[in-house]
Structure 1
Amino acid sequence: MVRGIRGATTILNNNKEEITVATEKLLRAMIQANSINASDVAQILFSVTEDVDASFPAAAARLIEGWAYVPVMCMREIPVPGSLPMCIRVMMTVNTTAKQEEIVHIYHEGAISLRPDLSHTTSNG
């Protein structure tokens, strides 16, 4: 069965290091919480708000051992007035035997507000 696993985080500063660190942390949490192997991943889509443009968040996937061949793509979110700023979102499409209600969606930092009903959350604050 193919399932989507969602994740999101926010950053404080639009710079390459912060984008990479926050995205890698989010990806590793998604991988661990859902016991994902790179060979089971069909693709990972990354989206960012307009205020995040210093780096491609997808580059963080290449820092994870064994994930070099996973297809990744970055795109920009629709700039809806009042939407959460400085946000990086992830949609990971995986082959899994998990039921939809068993998927663990991960939200960090300010992104916890996006889907508190579905999320397993962490925050540094």
Structure 2
Amino acid sequence: MNEVIPDLGFAIVGFILIFSGTFILLVAAIGLLRFKDIYLQASAVGTAAGLGVAAIILGALVIDFSWLNAVKALIAIPAQLLTAAVGTMTLARAGYLTGSRPIAATSPNDLDDEKLEIEDPSAS
């Protein structure tokens, strides 16, 4: 009887992590459909991909713990966080380079070449 209670506790924590990761990905999917420009869509998907998948991996590790699974999780989670960030930045940059305009409701474009003022170091 004493062994069942810790196993049940780990299962509950694991399923909470898995369901929270799934919920994060579901919210990102809704954001992908609702947001109007590529920059907001990339932001929603990139953040959710990093956090949601990491929560799902941690939940699976808590439910079915072994040292081999722990090593796999220690490799998979940082790899997922890094690739999600790089992928998000690549998508946003591709949108910028192809001329995709942000919607008017978002902040002004600070990267606009016409507004960019570069100081000449020889002028001083």
TM-score bin, normalised by smaller chain: under 0.3
State the TM-score, normalized to the length of structure 2.
0.27
In proportion to residue count, which structure has more strand?
A: 1
